[in-house]
């Protein structure tokens, strides 16, 4: 019985992967981004933040610069826009 359950799970996983591959290969509609699956954008966004730092809105950036100055840190290069 266990091999049947495992082989069914493998078939389901393979089928799902195929469907996801087909969806990703779909041509996007004009003016729309390429098709992505849930979670895919999270990984590329995290990679982008690691390379370039997080995007800070101007109010938060200014607050952090004020705190850095108050405590004697030079954060101008670390808090680039």
In a domain, 67, yes or no: no
Question: Can you give 30-73 as a three-state secondary structure string?
Answer: CCCCCCCCCCHHHHHHHHHHHHHCCCCCHHHHHHHHHHHHHCCC
- Note down the domain range covering 20: 2-53
Total domain count, the chain: 1
In a domain, 8, yes or no: yes
In a domain, 63, yes or no: no
Per-residue confidence of the chain (81 residues) as pLDDT tens digits?
Answer: 556 777 777 777 778 888 888 888 888 889 998 888 888 888 888 998 899 888 889 999 899 889 989 999 888 777 655
In a domain, 58, yes or no: no
């Amino acid at each position: 019985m266990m091999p049947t359950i495992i082989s069914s799970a493998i078939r389901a996983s393979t089928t799902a992967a195929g469907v996801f591959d087909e969806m990703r290969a779909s041509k996007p509609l004009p003016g729309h981004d390429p098709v992505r699956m849930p979670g895919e954008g999270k990984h590329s966004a995290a990679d982008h933040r690691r390379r370039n730092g997080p995007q800070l809105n101007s109010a938060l950036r200014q607050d952090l610069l004020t705190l850095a100055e108050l405590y004697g840190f030079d954060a101008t290069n670390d808090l680039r826009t």
